[in-house]
Amino acid sequence: MPTTTTTMPTTTTTMPITTTTVPAFSSSVSLVTAAQLGGTWHAGCPVDPSQLRLLQLSYWGFDNQPHVGTLVVNASVADSVIAVFSNLYAARFPIEEMVPEAAYGGNDNAAAAADDTSGFNCRYAVAPGTPQWSMHAYGEAIDVNDVQNPYIDGATIIPPAGAAYEVRSDVRPGMAVPGGTLVDAFGAIGWGWGGNWVGTPDYQHFSINGQ
């Protein structure tokens, strides 16, 4: 009898290719109350809560994942600040944390130690002489990644963990450096950088007037 060979059909299964979709940058602007501002505001501050806004913003974390944080800023600069953080998100510039300083009772050193990125805080500027309001007291300044970008005044480094980043030529993620993503993003809206201050550089600090 003739031999019949039966060839079974071969089936190739193609597994679907999945890609991780990064959420688009998002932002929102809302009113903020004195109760929400907590220890960052009190009677006698140079701005009223009605002049401030709570921003909800996407940001890229050091864990290489997207997050959503909040900042309190002056209503007059809200749109400009949103533009800055949109650019940072697109560039995947890492930010450790973004919560209002009310979470730390208005204690600037505690917020800095937590590597917080924050805006409004009704406090005086860190400077000798007659006390003057910081630009943070107007909601027109933002500190970004305090640990990676410390304030330095001789042997004083705020926060202390920022000592690991005192040598600015050793550029690492999250740092503010001339010509870098962070400095350029704020420069694009006309804000000045505390890293340019002579004698007491404040690498974390950006403000509408550079002070």
Cα 46–48–54 angle (5° rounding)?
Answer: 115
| Average pLDDT of the residues in 70-82 | 98
Is pLDDT above 70 for 6?
no
Give the closest residue to 143 by CA, choosing from 174, 168, 179.
174
Predicted TM-score of the model (pTM): 0.89
Across 124-179, where does the E strand assignment appear?
141-143, 151-153, 156-158
Residue 10 pLDDT grade (very low, low, confident, very high; cuts 50, 70, 90): very low
| Average pLDDT of the residues in 33-53 | 98
Q: Look at residue 129 in the predicted model and tell me its pLDDT.
A: 79
Q: Look at residue 128 in the predicted model and tell me its pLDDT.
A: 73
Distances from the Cα of 101 to the Cαs of 18, 119, 164, in angstroms?
A: 39, 8, 24
